[in-house]
């Protein structure tokens, strides 16, 4: 309603301005001929003037012959008395000219400057209304006011801890804040000091902001939210003024919670960087430090800030008395992901085959924001297929889409490139299958997704929080499996392994320089330090000599070459399996875990049956039975592959339609 009246007032003002201009300058002009003074004298001598009106040095009147109006100006250097006595007065006495006059008007000085004042006022009002409309409600006159948004219970949906899943320990850290805001007397009587500030630290999308809103909703207090970038402006001192105004508003509405998102935008370390610091940001930070010390312990104002870069914050901001407590909000574990899946699927119709536990196991490392996006993608895919319920395979397709990107079936790929991709991905999968500590293969595909021509998905069997030396070495071997397969089978290498080589080199370098896993160099950290304020490329410093740098590079190369030989040995010993997997990929384009394991279980069954009997006749019978079973199994796999390919073609036809 306020915005409606602001828009109406703007158009009313424009209408009044136009009306005043029309009133002042819109009078119809009179046709008056301006003649020279000499012509006026000639017309007087010819007795052709009917009437005159004298006003100071201006004479207006009517010409007798044409009955038209005229106007002339009498120069000051002329002697008016001569003209008056010689021409005008005799004709006036004879009744030939009607003469009238008017004394000069004396306008008050206030009326003389009134038009100027009126135009200035119009300009000021127009500028004020224009800026108010463009910046949304009077920010020009309140430039130094806080831009924090006040969220009250009656203005938004109340978010509580029940709506937050997978963050049980983090919620326990904040429950005492809620209890203090509800029952402050219990803590005051015991002389307890509640933390003034709580810093939420964690990667993007882990739920820092949502957990802060839930804290305010659980406590039932006002919730101020503002971004760190809202404090900083191009004018020095504006940010400090906004900080003061924010705390003044918070004190008026205490008890309350003030949430500052991305506080690293204003809380960076002072005195760092080329050419000194940023004056506006440093003054804003100084004012924030003063204000956090300025209000009392029990005033009921809790500051909650969120950042994913705690390493760049000023130490004065993190000391006790300001941000007393840090709550680390990390990626959820498998139980947390299962609870988050349940939260984000409340309003979505799921099919009976959807299992939350399986989905949680297939999404390691996913944050709550990733899971929300995943379920939204699954709903979109379901709507695209005109289904009423979200099925398990649709959610799995959404997982693959989120990780690797959408399928690009329309891309035209030559047979040679498709063959190279098939052997490349088959090499990855086969090496991963033969390594003892590597997680099982979940899916292999040669269908392009995103920027990848194909991919091999590895599904972890359990949650891992540490990586051993063996795990990292096998990871390098697995990454090099694609390049080795290209070289063994096709006797050629391609650019498709560029990302694999980059990741393998990064893992090897981290093992040597960061984690101290080198027997030759010892358990020493040789990682380079980066000056975050000067730029990583510009300011990377090495904490070791050139001789040691040579040894590090040599150690990294030896580690990668050893992994390359190991991958080459595995693929050489299982070259038949490599060809079988690659040919199957060329046929069906995608293999799931069961189809992939079938290449190995059949071989194991055949070996077991060959060694199970001692009698030759029984052995022949078992071999014949084994062949029949193998035929049945192979036909079963082919049938599954045919069904998959037909489903794929059917979906493609639907998309084209």
Q: Which pair of tokens denotes residue 31? A: 């046709």
- Residue 591 belongs to what H/E stretch? strand 590-592
CB 333 within 8 A of CB 364: no
Gap between the Cα atoms of 390 and 392, Å rounded: 7
Gap between the Cα atoms of 274 and 656, Å rounded: 56
Gap between the Cα atoms of 82 and 86, Å rounded: 6
Gap between the Cα atoms of 345 and 190, Å rounded: 44
- Residue 98 belongs to what H/E stretch? strand 98-101
Active-site pick, 291, 407, 425, 474? 425
Examine residue 255 and say whether the peptide bond preceding it is cis (omega within 30 degrees of 0): yes
Gap between the Cα atoms of 285 and 292, Å rounded: 11
SS3 301: strand
Q: How far is CA 539 from CA 336, 535, 536, 542, 586, in A?
A: 40, 6, 5, 10, 48
Gap between the Cα atoms of 605 and 610, Å rounded: 9
Gap between the Cα atoms of 581 and 494, Å rounded: 20
- Residue 133 belongs to what H/E stretch? helix 109-135
Q: Residue 484: how many CB atoms within 10 A of its CB?
A: 27
Gap between the Cα atoms of 352 and 381, Å rounded: 18
Q: Which pair of tokens denotes residue 320? A: 């006790």
DSSP 446-470: -S-BTTBS-EEEE--SS--S---HH
Gap between the Cα atoms of 231 and 22, Å rounded: 46
CB 264 within 8 A of CB 281: no
Give the pairing of strands 98-101 and 49-55: parallel
* Annotation marks residue 47 as catalytic: no
CB 212 within 8 A of CB 178: no
Token pair 């509580």: residue: 160
- Could you give the dihedral angle defined by the CA atoms of residues 535, 537, 541 and 545, in that order, rounded to the nearest 10 degrees? 180
The catalytic residues are 425
């Amino acid at each position: 309603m306020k915005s409606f009246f602001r828009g109406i007032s703007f158009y009313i003002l424009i209408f009044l301005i136009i009306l005043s201009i029309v009133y002042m300058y819109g009078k119809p002009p009179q046709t008056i001929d301006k003649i020279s003074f000499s012509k006026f004298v000639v017309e007087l001598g010819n007795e052709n003037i009917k009437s005159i009106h004298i006003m100071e040095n201006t004479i207006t009147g009517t010409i007798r012959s044409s009955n038209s109006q005229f106007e002339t100006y009498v120069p000051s250097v002329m002697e008016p008395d001569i003209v008056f006595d010689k021409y005008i007065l005799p004709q006036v006495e004879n009744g030939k000219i009607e003469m009238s006059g008017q004394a000069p008007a004396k306008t008050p000085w206030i009326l003389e400057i009134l038009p100027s004042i009126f135009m200035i006022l119009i300009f000021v009002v127009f500028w004020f209304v224009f800026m108010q409309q463009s910046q949304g409600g009077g920010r020009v006159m309140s430039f130094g006011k806080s831009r924090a948004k006040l969220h009250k219970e009656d203005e938004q949906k109340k978010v509580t801890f029940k709506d937050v899943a997978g963050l049980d320990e983090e919620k326990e850290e904040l429950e005492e804040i809620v209890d203090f805001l509800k029952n402050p007397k219990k803590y005051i009587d015991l002389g307890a000091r509640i933390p003034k500030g709580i810093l939420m630290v964690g990667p993007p999308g882990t739920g820092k902001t949502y957990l802060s809103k839930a804290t305010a909703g659980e406590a039932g207090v006002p919730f101020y939210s503002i971004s760190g970038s809202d404090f900083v402006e191009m004018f020095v001192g504006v940010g400090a003024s906004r900080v003061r105004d924010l705390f003044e508003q918070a004190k008026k509405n205490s008890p309350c919670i003030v949430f500052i998102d991305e506080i690293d935008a204003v809380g960076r370390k002072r005195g760092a960087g080329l050419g000194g610091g940023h004056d506006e940001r440093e003054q804003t930070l100084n004012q924030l430090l003063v204000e956090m010390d300025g209000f009392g312990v029990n005033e009921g104002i809790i500051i909650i800030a969120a950042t994913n870069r705690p390493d760049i914050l000023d130490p004065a901001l993190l000391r006790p008395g300001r941000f007393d407590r840090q709550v680390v909000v990390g990626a959820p574990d498998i139980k947390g992901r299962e609870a988050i899946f349940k939260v984000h699927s409340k309003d979505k119709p799921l099919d009976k085959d959807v299992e939350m536990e399986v989905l949680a196991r297939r999404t390691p490392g996913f944050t709550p924001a990733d899971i929300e996006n995943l379920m939204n993608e699954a709903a979109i895919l379901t709507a695209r297929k005109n289904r009423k319920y979200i099925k398990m395979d649709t959610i799995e397709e959404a997982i693959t889409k989120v990780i690797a990107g959408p399928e690009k079936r329309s891309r035209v790929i030559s047979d040679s490139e498709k063959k190279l991709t098939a052997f490349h991905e088959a090499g990855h999968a086969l090496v991963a299958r033969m390594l003892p500590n590597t997680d099982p293969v979940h899916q292999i595909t040669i269908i392009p997704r995103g920027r990848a021509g194909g991919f091999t998905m590895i599904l972890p069997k359990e949650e891992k929080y540490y990586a051993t030396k063996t795990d990292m070495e096998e990871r390098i071997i697995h990454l090099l499996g694609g390049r080795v397969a290209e070289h063994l089978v096709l006797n050629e290498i391609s650019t498709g392994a560029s990302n694999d080589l980059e990741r393998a080199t990064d893992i090897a370098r981290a093992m040597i320089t960061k984690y101290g896993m080198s027997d030759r160099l010892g358990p020493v950290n040789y990682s380079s330090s980066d000056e975050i304020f000067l730029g990583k490329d510009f300011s990377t410093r090495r904490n070791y000599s050139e001789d040691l740098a040579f040894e590090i590079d040599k150690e990294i190369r030896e580690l990668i070459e050893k992994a390359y030989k190991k991958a080459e040995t595995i693929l050489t010993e299982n070259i038949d399996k490599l060809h079988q997997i690659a040919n199957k990929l060329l046929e069906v384009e995608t293999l799931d875990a069961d189809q992939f394991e079938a290449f190995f279980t059949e071989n194991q069954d055949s070996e077991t049956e060959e060694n199970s009997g001692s009698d030759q006749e029984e052995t022949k019978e078992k071999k014949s039975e084994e062949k029949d079973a193998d035929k049945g199994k192979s036909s079963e796999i082919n049938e599954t592959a045919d069904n998959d390919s037909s489903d794929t073609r059917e979906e493609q036809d639907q998309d084209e339609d």
